[in-house]
Amino acid sequence: MQRRRFLGLAATGMAGAAGLTASACSGGTGSGDGVTLKLVAADYGDPGGDNGSQAYWDGLARSFEKQHPDIAVDVSVLSWNEVDKKVAAMVADGTPPDIAQIGSYADYAARGRLYSVGELLPIPVQADYLPSLAEAGEVNRMQYGLPFVSSTRLLFYNKALFARAGLDPEEPPGSWAELRKAARALKAADVRIPYGLPLGPEEAPAETMMWLLSGGGGYTDNGDSYVLDSPENIATFEWLRDSLVGAGLTGDAAPADTNRQDLFDAFGRGEVGMLNGHPTLMQQADRKHVEYGTAVLPGKNGPASSTMGVADWAMAFKQNGHGEAAGKFLAYAFDVDRHYDFVSRYDLLPVTTSASARMRSDGSQKKLRKFLDQLPRAEFYPVGKVSWGKVSAEIKRKIGRAVAENGEPANVLGALQQTAEAEESAGGGR
């Protein structure tokens, strides 16, 4: 099955261009004189930890205000559990923020609520974005979403638990059969969760997509049409149901009731043998002194040819008419030094060519190079589809049923396909 690939590295020759200001922005987007920008952003810190994002944004706002004394920035940082809902409520109440840094943009763009990127940023700043990530920010061929950070996924495994189970800690599984064999050995060694499968509402769309890709399927085909109930996808979930969940290799809790952060926490306690994870899991594992390894996701017959990538988005709302001021702040935030400061503190991947080049050459970021290497073949959610929000919500509600005892993947995926097609027909397409 062919699928659209959203992210690829490309050298643009624009290293450092994001340090330019937005003085070249298009007119008609609002004056910066005496403006207070309302900014709502997501918190990338660990729950209950001391590495929250508020300090970063406060520092960025204060340094920006020194250079732009006619623009104040009022920052609110919220957890991922509430930030998207909070922004949606603000929009519904008629009081949207000027800038939001959240998980999706397409619905707001389709309703005409956002400035286009061309209205906000000068061409050199736009050109520094990784080209295909910029494309993923488009609705109807116009870019509205500014990629903010990205990440890819790898298989994490606990080397100490591998050794305890008689497995070679330097040879992680490369295929589904090898993963099942390793999970069986871990279970025999009394590992509580041989493989962590978070199909609960927090992570279900991501875990689902990783497995679909590793089985030769995906959410959409090369024509960007939904193919949720494809034969490849059904076969993938039948294998998960029978070979992992049904064999008792995913722990006692049902995958439908298992969230990502719960498994990340358990991995930090040394209770999980293997799970799919993103770069920030490295920080959590390092703090807990877990000896872990990472590897390309196992595929049906060998290492997967692609992995899932995720991008979070920034956007500027039009209602308050503060486009010029918002553009200046966003250009300031994407200066290579400032952008790199943010992604490096959270073990995330940059979205600009200049910051990506810096990360690759930074010796202190060697652990992230394997994730960077995944970018050319990473595939992303179909975020440019306005329908994706509702489809994703349905996946969160239903996909766990496909791997339950007596679950029927064909029925579950067929119902999700019907939802996707209905949303597309209702005008929720790209």
Q: Give the pLDDT confidence score for residue 203 in this predicted structure.
A: 85
Residue by residue, DSSP assigns 174-192 as -BHHHHHHHHHHHHHTT-S
The predicted model gives 151-167 an average pLDDT of 97
* Domain-located, residue 6: no
* Domain-located, residue 2: no
What token pair was written down for 100?
């939001």
**Is the model's pLDDT at 30 over the cut of 50?**
no
**Is the model's pLDDT at 13 over the cut of 50?**
no
Task: Report the percent of the chain where pLDDT is more than 90.
Answer: 74
What token pair was written down for 36?
């207070």
Q: Give the pLDDT confidence score for residue 171 in this predicted structure.
A: 97
* Domain-located, residue 4: no
Cβ proximity of 331 and 32 under 8 Å: no
* Domain-located, residue 121: yes
- Please classify residue 62 by burial: count the beta carbons closer than 10 Å to its beta carbon, then call 0-12 exposed, 13-18 middle and 19+ buried: exposed
**Is the model's pLDDT at 178 over the cut of 80?**
yes
Lowest mean pLDDT among 79-83, 210-214, 424-428: 424-428
| Domain carrying residue 343 | 17-148+311-368
What token pair was written down for 73?
């920035």
Instruction: List Cβ neighbours of 235 (8 Å cut-off, separation of 6 or more).
Output: 215
Is residue 43 domain-shared with residue 75, that is, in the same domain? yes
Is residue 416 domain-shared with residue 334, that is, in the same domain? no
**Higher-scoring residue by pLDDT: 336, 133:** 336
Q: Which of 127-141, 236-250, 333-347, 364-378 has the highest mean pLDDT?
A: 236-250
Nearest-angstrom CA–CA distance, 222 and 201:
27
Is residue 411 domain-shared with residue 340, that is, in the same domain? no
Query: How confident is the prediction for the chain on average, in pLDDT?
Result: 89
* Domain-located, residue 111: yes
Q: What is the pLDDT of residues 377-404, one digit of tens each?
A: 788 898 888 899 899 999 999 999 999 9
Q: Give the pLDDT confidence score for residue 10 in this predicted structure.
A: 31
Q: Give the pLDDT confidence score for residue 283 in this predicted structure.
A: 86
Residue by residue, DSSP assigns 16-43 as TGGGS-STTPPSSS---TTEEEEEEEE-
Is residue 73 domain-shared with residue 140, that is, in the same domain? yes
Is residue 51 domain-shared with residue 97, that is, in the same domain? yes
Q: Give the pLDDT confidence score for residue 185 in this predicted structure.
A: 98
Q: Give the pLDDT confidence score for residue 251 in this predicted structure.
A: 97
Nearest-angstrom CA–CA distance, 132 and 7:
5
Provide the domain count of the chain: 2
Nearest-angstrom CA–CA distance, 19 and 30:
22
* Domain-located, residue 191: yes
pTM, two decimals, is 0.80
- Please classify residue 26 by burial: count the beta carbons closer than 10 Å to its beta carbon, then call 0-12 exposed, 13-18 middle and 19+ buried: middle
Q: Give the pLDDT confidence score for residue 15 in this predicted structure.
A: 34
Q: What is the pLDDT of residues 292-313, one digit of tens each?
A: 999 999 999 999 988 898 899 9
Q: How far is CA 385 from CA 59, 136, 163, 194, in A?
A: 34, 10, 45, 36
Instruction: List Cβ neighbours of 220 (8 Å cut-off, separation of 6 or more).
Output: 3, 4, 226, 227, 382
Q: Give the pLDDT confidence score for residue 6 in this predicted structure.
A: 32
Q: How many helices (H) and strands (E) does the chain have?
A: 18, 12
Give the domain CATH number at 321.
3.40.190.10
Q: Which of 12-21, 45-54, 122-131, 206-215 has the highest mean pLDDT?
A: 206-215
Task: Report the percent of the chain where pLDDT is more than 70.
Answer: 91
Domain limit, last residue, from 368, 393, 412: 368
Cβ proximity of 386 and 429 under 8 Å: yes
Is residue 169 domain-shared with residue 270, that is, in the same domain? yes
DSSP single-letter state for residue 240: I
**Is the model's pLDDT at 284 over the cut of 70?**
yes
Is residue 134 domain-shared with residue 24, that is, in the same domain? yes
**Higher-scoring residue by pLDDT: 420, 346:** 420
The predicted model gives 269-284 an average pLDDT of 94
Q: Which of 251, 258, 26, 215 has the alpha carbon at shortest distance from 119?
A: 26
Is residue 161 domain-shared with residue 280, that is, in the same domain? yes
Q: Give the pLDDT confidence score for residue 31 in this predicted structure.
A: 43
Is residue 316 domain-shared with residue 415, that is, in the same domain? no
What token pair was written down for 18?
């994001």
Q: Give the pLDDT confidence score for residue 9 in this predicted structure.
A: 32
Domain limit, last residue, from 319, 334, 368: 368
**Is the model's pLDDT at 49 over the cut of 80?**
no
Is residue 281 domain-shared with residue 400, that is, in the same domain? yes
**Higher-scoring residue by pLDDT: 278, 18:** 278
Nearest-angstrom CA–CA distance, 230 and 222:
13
Domain limit, last residue, from 323, 341, 368: 368
* Domain-located, residue 5: no
What token pair was written down for 41?
């952003």
Provide the residue type at 358 as one letter.
R
Q: Give the pLDDT confidence score for residue 130 in this predicted structure.
A: 87
Q: How far is CA 52 from CA 55, 78, 171, 351, in A?
A: 7, 10, 35, 21
Cβ proximity of 39 and 101 under 8 Å: yes
Residue by residue, DSSP assigns 272-323 as EEEEEE-THHHHHHHHTT--EEEEPPBBSSSB-S-EEEEEEEEEEBSTT--H
Is residue 212 domain-shared with residue 268, that is, in the same domain? yes
The predicted model gives 236-243 an average pLDDT of 98
DSSP single-letter state for residue 220: B
Using alpha carbons only, give the angle 377, 379, 381 rounded to the nearest 5 degrees.
Answer: 170
Is residue 248 domain-shared with residue 186, that is, in the same domain? yes
Cβ proximity of 315 and 137 under 8 Å: no
Q: Give the pLDDT confidence score for residue 310 in this predicted structure.
A: 86
**Is the model's pLDDT at 134 over the cut of 70?**
yes
* Domain-located, residue 31: yes
pLDDT band at 268 (very low <50, low <70, confident <90, very high): very high
pLDDT band at 136 (very low <50, low <70, confident <90, very high): confident
The predicted model gives 348-355 an average pLDDT of 93
Q: Give the pLDDT confidence score for residue 306 in this predicted structure.
A: 87
